[in-house]
Amino acid sequence: MRKCMIILSLIISSSAYAQKYEELSLTPPMGWNSWNTFQCNVSEKLVMETADIIASSGMKEAGYAYVVIDDCWMLKERDPKTGDLVADPAKFPHGMKALADYVHSKGLKFGLYNCAGTKTCAGYPGTRGFEYQDARYYASLGIDYLKFDWCNTEGINGEEAYTTMSKALRAASRPIVFSLCDWGTNKPWRWASHVGQLWRTTGDIGPYFDRGKTKEGWEPNSVMRNLDLNDTLNQYAGPGHWNDPDMLEVGNGMTESEDRTHFSIWCMMASPLIAGNDLRSMSPATKSILTNKEVIAIDQDSLGVQGFRYSNQDSLQTWFKPLKDGGWALCFLNRSLKVQKISYDWKTQVITDPVSHRQLDPASSVFKIFNLWTKKEQGNTSKELNAELPAHDVLMLRLTK
């Protein structure tokens, strides 16, 4: 009898954490979010135009699927009769259901934002106390993605709040990707693998490579700062549960080499790829970076291993990522302001990924080398690799047996 009670207890305990849709985001989600560029200046017109561009520019074919509206999409008060959230009719005159239908008509998916607290970060109605009602409302709209922030949460337990919302989404009976955005405050990587599909590991990012600048009274993190916060958490990432070092700043003011580096290292870390620029005015260079299918394939590799930093010498870092086909991705990252020389003797290095335990031993097997940005073959591992790497740039390679 006691044995049966123990088994029943384990089943109940397990089911309490098994509420999310496990089949979602088996590779890191890809899409676009309004916040980095537009903040509260969101509108129906903006979202429709963005969906049009994703569908027609090659971004959809490259894997970008989600069109997500961040904060400020609603009125300051809930509906006094129903308690539901209300889309701002000045910004979204045809309502959110019609907008979701439009995005879906383009073969894309639609996402919205709210907050675990009593109010969102911009002061709109939060979800605290309305979790199940809001989840039903989102399901009625047909949304596919929910970004859930962490403002105005004084006295609230993070694990409890996000678990409650996850259960509410499951109860609403619509598969919705759940993005936990608590900036790493509650260390969600330790407990959220059965709660959501991705979780923020960092504070908010800004369009700065290695040092943030004060912006409206606060200083967003740089790309390199968020890289450093995320790079030791590789053991927690995998299919259906991803570390999220925040959205992409590609096309938002950094140099082309810095944008390329930002995109490359996010792909090495199997990060969600959520563009944050104005797609309507992006340059050919920005589009080329965001749609590089060979680099995206590293991010979307089905083995689902987050790459790891192998070495760091004089601001020249070496990153490795094992791939499903037995190959590897390798990225040399120059964080300095000077040109760095690369001299890499393959035969003296045996690399072991600490998570998958895959091993790269070029001394026993020769690998072909493919440059993922020039898209050219670059010899093989039978000879030492020698190159010069400009400041704030990367050399990103794919190794294939």
Supply the residues annotated as catalytic.
Answer: 149, 204
Please name the residues in contact with 294: beta carbons below 8 A apart, sequence gap of 6 or more.
370, 372, 375, 398
Give the H/E segment covering residue 342. Answer: strand 340-344
For the residues of 8-73, what is the DSSP string, one character each?
Answer: HHHHHHHHTT--S-TTS-SS--EEEESHHHHTT---HHHHHHHHHHHHHSSHHHHT--EEE--S--
In whole angstroms, what is the distance from residue 72 CA to residue 169 CA?
A: 21
Cβ neighbours for 394, distance < 8 A, ≥ 6 positions apart: 260, 261, 264, 265, 331, 332, 333, 334, 373
State the Cα–Cα distance between residues 62 and 261, nearest whole angstrom.
Answer: 18
Pairwise CA distance, residues 167 & 165, whole Å: 5
**What's 95's DSSP letter?**
H
Provide the phi-psi class of 107: left if phi over 0, else alpha when psi is between -120 and 50, else beta: left
